[in-house]
Amino acid sequence: MEQNNFSFKKYAWNQFKKNKPALYSLYILITLILIAVFAPFIANDQPLYAKYKGESVYPAFATLTDPNVRKSFTDVETGKIEELQYDITDWRQLDLESVVWAPIPYSPDKGDRYNREYVSPFGKQRIKNANNEIVEAPRRLRHIMGTDNIGRDLASGLIHGTRISLLVGIVAMGIASIIGVFLGAMAGFFGDRNLYLPRIKYYFTILGVFLGLFYGFGVRKYTISNAFENGSSGSWELLLSLLLIVVIIVGLRFISRFLMFGKLKEEVNVPIDTFVSRGIEILNSIPRLILIITISAIFTRSIWLIMTIIGLTSWTGIARFTRAEFLRLRELEFVQAAKSLGYSNFRAIVKHALPNALAPVFVSIAFGIASAILIESSLSFLGIGVPDDMVTWGSLLNLGRQEFEAWWLVMFPGFAIFITITIYNLIGEGLRDALDPRLKS
């Protein structure tokens, strides 16, 4: 008798490979990730390697650990010592003995004074050489996608903007996934009739939620706002508020143990499904973009704040998918067997039900990442997203709005956003088809 060694993972991968658009989209996504990881070596105004006055240096690599690194060079003939700070040195004006430039020899945040005022990719471009002469830029040092009003290279901005776009999608949907999976699992597994708590613990839990929100975000709102104004510490203050909410809830639940007597000790039904479902409906009834714009207007602009807000407002779809799967799985034999064997609800959820409910969640995450990237681009385009000194695809589009004749500031960032959102949607469709057990023959 032949043994059946069916593996759903292998089957799903084989099904995914049959979807050519989704497979090619996965390859493009991997390429974008590699571009984001190696962006400092792909687009940088500092050489990857240079030999100056007999010494070999690697500026692009050295500034990764210390942006303000300095080095002294001694002229062999005159004995004159010259000190260079890598990040502010214009390496194109040095008489380098040999040099290896990055594929895009410009940084995204530095303007080119000789190619300002929206220089076209096909227009005349100039550089200042080692002899202090302003000459036509050689092909190797041209801005291949043009520049903006202050001479910043568009190609370099697109490459470094890939980091922001991918980071926004991953972090935002990471937050949304944690919230959505937790609430969806609770709502689907327990429903409205299967979760019981002592009356006093139930009341103290609800009280803890309201007190936690009051002290975590009401009392500390100015602290969080000031932290975002002063830098990236706002993310830690936001995390501290979330931890404060958890501590207050856990603390009140612990205190409730000492008050369990009489009617306060009686167990009552907790309609967790109703709470989660009504919360989803309330959040979905509010236009998400308007909500994000409102919150962003209150606080100082920060990329971490944008990612957090998108994550906190994007969990509803994941929660609905997870809830629907748990409603189906809780009635199946293996979950019922886990309950019959006396396993805790936590073990039944995490070890038995959750692994079988994640397939549609992955699909929702793929579509959600595309949505998060589009929201961030929309906010940056409107000028209320990331700070002005941070380059993203949306902020590049915003520059194109200021000068309609600079078509390259609209076409290239718009095409990058279109391609990224399209590949995520195609990957999501491929995952949906591959992970659907009903398609298994």
- pLDDT tens track for 49-66: 998 888 888 998 988 888
Q: Is residue 58 domain-resident?
A: yes
Mean pLDDT, rounded, for 246-255: 92
Q: Are residues 119 and 204 in the same domain?
A: no
The continuous run of DSSP H or E covering 221 comes out as helix 221-230
Residue 437 in this model has a pLDDT that exceeds 60: no
Instruction: Collect all residues with Cβ–Cβ distance below 8 Å to 231 and sequence separation of at least 6.
Output: none
pLDDT, greater one: 399 or 9: 399
Q: Which of 206, 234, 269 is where one domain is finished?
A: 269
Q: What local confidence, expressed as pLDDT, does residue 342 receive?
A: 79
Q: What is the pLDDT of residue 4?
A: 54
Same structural domain, 322 and 179: yes
Handedness of CA 131, 137, 143, 147 (dihedral sign): positive
Do 337 and 393 fall within a single domain?
yes
Q: Is 382 found in the same domain as 247?
A: no
326: in domain: yes
Q: Are 203 and 247 in contact (CB under 8 A)?
A: no
Share in percent of the chain as helix, strand, coil (round to 5) = 65, 10, 30
pLDDT for residue 307 is more than 60: yes
Q: Please, which pLDDT band fits residue 36 given cuts at 50, 70 and 90? A: very high
Which H/E stretch holds residue 16? helix 8-18
- Same domain? For 302 and 226 the reply is no
Residues 108, 392: Cα–Cα separation, whole Å: 10
Indicate whether 95 pLDDT > 60. yes
Residue 232 has pLDDT above 60, yes or no: no
pLDDT (mean) for 244-258: 91
Is the pLDDT assigned to residue 123 strictly greater than 60?
A: yes
Query: What's the pLDDT score for residue 184?
Result: 92
pLDDT band at 1 (very low <50, low <70, confident <90, very high): very low
Q: Are residues 422 and 299 in the same domain?
A: yes
Q: Is residue 329 part of a domain?
A: yes
Q: Let me know whether 314 and 282 are in one domain.
A: yes
Query: Based on the domain organization, do 175 and 285 belong to the same domain?
Result: yes
Which of 124, 151, 178 marks a domain boundary? 151
pLDDT of 214 above 50: yes
DSSP string, 353-410: IGGGT-HHHHHHHHHHHHHHHHHHHHHHHHT-SS-TTS--HHHHHHHHHH-TT-THHH
21, pLDDT greater than 70 = yes
**Domain total for the chain?**
4
Cα dihedral angle (77, 80, 81, 83), rounded to 10 degrees?
-100
pTM: 0.81
The reported pLDDT for the residue numbered 233 is: 67
Mean local confidence (pLDDT), 213-227: 81
Residue 179 reports pLDDT greater than 70: yes
Task: Say which residue, 78 or 199, is predicted with more confidence.
Answer: 199
Long-range contacts of residues 224-230, Cβ cutoff 8 Å, at least 24 apart = 224/299, 225/298, 225/299, 225/300, 228/299, 228/300, 228/302, 228/304, 228/305, 229/300
Give the residue from 35, 67, 101 where a domain finishes. 101
Answer yes or no: do 122 and 175 share one domain. no
51 & 191 share domain: no
* Tens-place pLDDT, residues 327-347: 888 888 888 888 788 778 888
**Structural domain for 294, as ranges:** 8-44+152-195+271-441
Share of the chain above pLDDT 90, in %: 22
pLDDT at 394: 86
Residues 212 and 156 in one domain: no
Most confident of 22-31, 311-320, 342-351, 352-361: 22-31
Domain assignment present for residue 21? The answer is yes
3-state secondary structure of 207: helix
Residue 1 lies in a domain: no
Q: Mean pLDDT, to the nearest integer, of 408-430?
A: 90
Which CATH number is 291's domain given?
1.10.3720.10
pLDDT over threshold 90, residue 268:
no
Q: So what's the pLDDT on residue 441?
A: 44
* pLDDT tens, residue by residue, 143-178: 999 998 888 899 999 999 998 888 888 888 988 999
Residues 157 and 28 in one domain: yes
Q: What is the mean pLDDT of residues 339-359?
A: 81
pLDDT score of 5: 58
- pLDDT score for 2: 45
